[in-house]
Amino acid sequence: MATPKRHSPGARRHAIVVAGMHRSGTSVLAGVLHRLGAALPATLLPANENNPRGYHESRLICEFHDAVLAEAGSGWSRVEGPDPTWFSSKQAAAREDELAALVSSEFGEQEVMLIKDPRVCRVLPLWSRVLTGLEIRAHYLIPVRDPRAVAASLERASQIPEHIGRLLWLDHILAAERETRGQTRAFVSQEALERDWRGTLMRAIEQAEIPLPTATRERSADIDAYLAWNGASTAASDPLHPWLDDTLSTMRRACEDTEVDTIALDRMRDAFHEAEAAFGPALAAAQVALETDRAKLNDRDHRVTDLESELEALRARRREQQAQLERRHEEAEALRKTIELLTKLTIDHTREPDRPASAELRASLEAIQKAAPADIPGLASTAALFADLHQRIAGHERERQWRADEIARLARDTADAKTQLTQARRERDAAETQRAALRDRVAELSLHVENQQRDTRLLQAQSATTERECLRLEAELARLLEERSKSPGALADLLRRIRGSSG
């Protein structure tokens, strides 16, 4: 691939590329830059509980980055970065055209565009070539935040263990620094941005040569309110691994000065990649197992929710059946009372037809006659009506019994559902226990990695001491050989001294 060309300061279009680790303040920095005039993409990733004020990044570009990282053998949450050889492959060339089309569709002809997605750190070579091809000058801003705060925030947002989050921070920030060397860039401290955004950001804008207008009073007030709403970061106090501590110190110095100790960062990056190559497979296996258990736990949680919904539906159906049964029972009681009245009326008129009926019976007879006068001409009609009402009562009794049986069946189903719910909860608790064990295993592997690194540093120190001693002896040998011509006994003395040193 050809080396990307540097754009002249007079380029017509500019891209502010925020290249920082997840949860390191990239969204806050992007929010401030947008309020200063940088254009956001057309298809924004929606806000959620982890970023209520928004991510300020393109959903389509995020999806593109995920596809590229998967194709290059990596992922945003994997400690192992993409294969460097992928960026010179045919697949990468095809992806360049796709990314160029995305930039055009997301930003159109905007003169100062804001490109922000933490995944950018791992695909910067691709972005550099695409922006060069589109004749867009890139200005890189690299947020710097304490890896302890980053890892704690990442665990809350994405359930990634803190020790994994710290390793991800180290890989992302080292990659962002290495791939932006020689470009117009600046490092931005998250803590300094929260304390004094004007001084911090103005210095970064000037250092990275970003063509943004001076903040008006209205824009400054808007940014003050935005940063006050986001709140200040919580300081962490637990000790850092030397790799993390040295890298953080170097990056913080870079936030205050244009000079960056690239030699120290390269040494750190090489050591990190060497350790990752040795212990990464075991760490990756533990991550895969943890993610699998997390997925199983989520499935069980969904199953518990479904069972609870089904149980509530069964309870509602049971209440409805009970209400219907009560209504049928009331109807049956009303029919019984009607039959009793008709029976009394029939007996009264059969035995003593001349005796006048009681007021209650006359009222019942008048009501029946008004409802259907043709159906009750005399005693025969009354008997027929009695038989019909008796049959209807029998039918209601059968339906009542069926309802009672249905309620009993629903009660059994409810008990079974409760049993299944209890079993699902037990399985979820077991999965939680297994996940905790896997976390302990990952922590054990990380401790082993640290011990191996400490032993390596000790051996390196011993090797350096031995090398200095060899150099001293070689110098002494050279001096004695030079004296040999002057003193024949110098060689014998040299041999005695060498034997004495060996002993």
In angstroms, the CA 261 to CA 264 distance is: 6
Give, in order, the Cα–Cα distances in Å from 24 to each of 174, 280, 385, 485, 502.
14, 23, 86, 69, 55
State whether residue 5 is helix, strand or coil: coil
Q: Kindly give the pairing relationship between strand 112-116 and strand 185-189.
A: unpaired
* Nearest by Cα to 66 from 95, 43, 88: 95
**Segments of 267-408 assigned E as strands:** none
Amino acid at 346: T
**Cβ proximity of 272 and 247 under 8 Å:** no
Q: Tell me, what's the pLDDT at 376? A: 45
State whether residue 181 is helix, strand or coil: coil
Contacts of 444 (CB under 8 A, 6+ apart): none
Helical spans, DSSP H, in 196-261? 197-207, 217-230, 242-256
In angstroms, the CA 188 to CA 204 distance is: 7
- Token pair for residue 467? 């090398």
**Cβ proximity of 35 and 156 under 8 Å:** no
Q: Tell me, what's the pLDDT at 230? A: 63
Q: Kindly give the pairing relationship between strand 185-189 and strand 13-18.
A: unpaired
pLDDT tens digit at each of 503 positions of the chain: 333 334 445 568 999 999 999 999 999 999 999 999 999 999 999 988 888 888 999 999 999 999 999 999 898 888 888 999 999 999 999 999 999 999 999 999 999 999 999 999 999 999 999 999 999 999 999 999 999 999 998 898 888 888 888 989 999 999 999 999 999 999 999 889 988 899 999 999 999 999 998 888 888 888 888 888 665 555 555 666 777 777 877 888 888 876 787 887 888 787 777 776 666 666 666 666 666 766 677 777 677 777 878 888 888 888 888 888 888 877 767 666 666 666 665 555 555 555 555 555 556 656 655 554 444 444 334 444 544 554 566 567 788 888 888 888 888 888 888 888 888 888 888 878 888 887 888 778 778 778 888 888 888 888 888 888 888 888 888 887 777 766 656 556 666 766 665 55
The DSSP code sequence of 117-164 is: -GGGGGSHHHHHHHHHHTTEEEEEEEEE--HHHHHHHHHHHH---HHH
Is the alpha carbon torsion for 138, 139, 142, 143 positive or negative? Answer: negative
**Cβ proximity of 32 and 226 under 8 Å:** yes
In angstroms, the CA 72 to CA 92 distance is: 9
**Cβ proximity of 358 and 378 under 8 Å:** no
- Token pair for residue 217? 């009073």
Q: Tell me, what's the pLDDT at 137? A: 96
CB-facing half-sphere around the CA of 463: CA atoms within 13 A: 6
* Secondary structure, 3-state, 367-390: HHHHHCHHHCCCHHHHHHHHHHHH
Amino acid at 320: E
In angstroms, the CA 384 to CA 82 distance is: 91
* Nearest by Cα to 76 from 169, 139, 145: 169
Q: Tell me, what's the pLDDT at 288? A: 67
Q: What is the largest CA-CA distance in the chain?
A: 169
pTM above 0.75, yes or no: no
Q: Tell me, what's the pLDDT at 386? A: 47
Give, in order, the Cα–Cα distances in Å from 464 to each of 252, 341, 458, 460.
30, 117, 10, 6
**Cβ proximity of 83 and 126 under 8 Å:** no
**Cβ proximity of 146 and 238 under 8 Å:** no
Contacts of 478 (CB under 8 A, 6+ apart): none
- Token pair for residue 168? 């991800």
In angstroms, the CA 153 to CA 151 distance is: 5
* Nearest by Cα to 120 from 33, 61, 42: 61
**Cβ proximity of 79 and 280 under 8 Å:** yes
The DSSP code sequence of 432-488 is: HHHHHHHHHHHHHHHHHHHHHHHHHHHHHHHHHHHHHHHHHHHHHHHHHHHHHTT-T
- For 39, list phi and psi in degrees, rounded to 5: -85, 135
Q: Tell me, what's the pLDDT at 356? A: 54
Is the alpha carbon torsion for 156, 159, 161, 164 positive or negative? Answer: negative
